[in-house]
Chain A
């Protein structure tokens, strides 16, 4: 126990503060306020791997490390789409995940946002469309923001989430659209 405490004390707080007020991470404080204004509570994200190579998952995991400290910004990952405000979808959508992705989308209460992650989520990427792949996420469910990259860095994924959140008109559009 002493060693554990010593390690915690010696590492200290490693979470990064925004170096510039307008840099990607700088939206931290405003974002928390914005999330509170729109939702009245933390932003809840449900992640769905709809066919990814698992590269994007590695970078989404990194958002939870103490350096990016996503929860510190008032954003957290939840276990059910019924608890979620935003779906973070990776991969070209495999045909075997098409039904599961649609059902997850339908299970998410309105108003909802969808952020497609990675080159594959944006365009189908190197996998394209074929007998087993539906290609980009927007071929299957409506998408608000698409974040390119292979995989996109945690900073870019965060920027994509922020873009979706900060444009609250998109929330209205998404809620007005039938599933």
Chain B
């Protein structure tokens, strides 16, 4: 069945614009997934919850053509595996394993190893279903995870982490190498699994945007906006125009700050400490003007249900504009230095290549995807207010190496600086927040925001009396972590930090 005939059966989905919702039976699940894959659709997220009759339900968000599609698949026989879609959407494999860890629902795919669960809670305990356990393992021991072994003459393993030799989030990397060449990398994550999805169900729905902002602190605006978009979809309220424009201002400031930080760190990892010094100085300038103009260096609590926490005074807008003009000029000057530096060029070019074909096959997304010709950006393809009026220029490259991911950052930095000037010049008058109606129990809302790393998705189900039935926040790192394993194959071990940094994926956003 072509995708269009599924879409005609779908209904509007509250939340982000352009979203549809559809419930299919478990025996139709693979069929529709095949049709979405055939139409070059993208898997945004996959999680599990329960429907209105408490029937366990697999849910998945796709982008299919010009629309987003939220699928629900009730699982009538939860004791038997539901059909897996790992062959169609490889990124789904770890999501399905996470669903099994948190809810006990298992897919039919071959990899049945735990993913989010280490030894901290018992195998039979389902955190999102069962009441809190009386006795947790007194001290979580380190479990024996079955890594895939590479056999052969001269092959040895290098185990790194979870605690890394720097100011980095924790995770474990298992390299199989011959000499200094990487044959295989296997990641093991979830060291910072904090039980965020369970925590959501303990918070009032009107206050949990604070938790959403802390799913991945470097993407706080993207997550809190996506959460609020989902919530405002549930209550049926639209926010004042000024609030939407202020949110876009915050989102672009978050993008600029992160890109500046990454560009400096990438120079440093290529042995050019000058780059780190210069870019970290520019980043500090943004954080300071944020602090004076917006009340915080990092905008963790700036997006709130119904609008924004603060308004922006005219003088502060002028200061922001002036700072961003200087940053755009300086970044351009530094770009030329990077591009003319032979040592930097030598390290960036050809390192950690993800070809466009592989990127398509594995579903590489966001910034890293755009560096491998995945021309997709929610701000252009499924825009919400005010992006419908901003005509964002989509940045893509096709080389797929570290240099391409650096170039996309440089270009997006300039584009975000342009957008910020445009927003500051065209900020509509009026209130910056509006009251929300009470959210009705049983309604689901979905938020979709293009964060600096890629598309952030939040699915929110309202419970009775202002509670949260279920909230699933999804970071684009889920899609991109498995691709990093491919990107390092054939590279030398000392290039891994550089390649890893060029993706700069979130551990916290993934581990939840």
Contacts and interface: CB of A to CB of B under 8 A. Distances in A.
A96 B261 contact: no
Interface string B337-360: 100110000000000000000000
Q: Which of B132, B167, B283, B508 has the most CB of A within 10 A?
A: B167
A130 interface: yes
Interface string A41-69: 00000011111111111111110111100
Interface residues of A, number: 52
B148 interface: no
Given A52-B169, A92-B194, A131-B133, A62 B506 contact: no
Contacts of A151: 217, 298, 300
Given A96-B118, A130-B132, A131-B127, A65 B280 contact: yes
Given A48-B163, A95-B136, A96-B140, A57 B168 contact: yes
Interface string B468-508: 00000000000000000000000000000000000000111
Given A7-B278, A126-B210, A52 B192 contact: yes
A11 B193 contact: no
A39 interface: no
B511 to A, nearest CB: 8
B217 A49 contact: no
Contacts of A104: 163
Please classify the interface of chain B as helix (H, G, I), strand (E, B), loop, or mixed, using the class held by over half of its residues: loop
A56 B163 contact: no
A55 B192 contact: no
A11 B508 contact: no
Given A53-B215, A54-B507, A94 B167 contact: no
B11 interface: no
Interface in A120-147: 125-128, 130-133
Given A95-B140, A131-B198, A53 B216 contact: yes
Interface string B179-204: 00000000000111111101100100
Interface string B207-240: 0001100111110100000000000000000000
Contacts of B341: 4
Contacts of B142: 99
A57 B140 CA distance: 25
A91 B192 contact: yes
Contacts of B170: 48-50, 97, 100
B388 to A, nearest CB: 30
B400 to A, nearest CB: 26
B139 interface: yes
Interface in B120-174: 120-121, 125, 127, 132-133, 136, 139-142, 162-163, 165-170
Given A94-B194, A131-B125, A131-B198, A53 B280 contact: no
Contact of B165 (A4, A8, A80): A80
Q: For this complex, into which size category does the number of interface residues on chain B fall?
A: 35 or more
Nearest to A119: B214
B287 interface: yes
B361 interface: no
A100 B167 contact: no
Contacts of A80: 165
A37 interface: no
Contact of A132 (B195, B274, B337): B195
B391 to A, nearest CB: 31
B167 A47 contact: yes
B193 A4 contact: no
Contacts of A99: 139-142
Contacts of A91: 192, 194
B192 A97 contact: yes
B444 to A, nearest CB: 23
Interface centre among A48, A58, A92, A151 (most CB of B within 10 A): A58
Contacts of A50: 170, 192
B277 A65 contact: yes
B220 to A, nearest CB: 7
A44 B127 CA distance: 39
A62 to B, nearest CB: 6
A14 interface: yes
A98 B281 contact: no
Interface string A64-85: 1111000000000101110000
Nearest to B220: A55
A32 interface: no
Contact of A65 (B194, B216, B281): B281
Interface of A: 3-4, 7-8, 11, 14, 47-62, 64-67, 77, 79-81, 91-92, 94-100, 102, 104, 125-128, 130-133, 150-151, 153
24 contacts: A3-B337, A48-B170, A49-B170, A49-B507, A54-B169, A54-B216, A54-B507, A55-B217, A56-B217, A58-B217, A61-B261, A62-B284, A66-B281, A67-B281, A91-B192, A94-B193, A96-B191, A98-B140, A100-B162, A100-B170, A102-B139, A126-B210, A151-B298, A153-B297
Q: What are the 6 A-B residue pairs with the smallest beta carbon separation, nearest first?
A: A55-B217, A79-B165, A95-B120, A132-B195, A65-B280, A53-B217
Interface of B: 118, 120-121, 125, 127, 132-133, 136, 139-142, 162-163, 165-170, 190-196, 198-199, 202, 210-211, 214-218, 220, 261, 274, 277-278, 280-281, 283-284, 287, 297-298, 300, 333-334, 336-337, 340-341, 506-508, 511
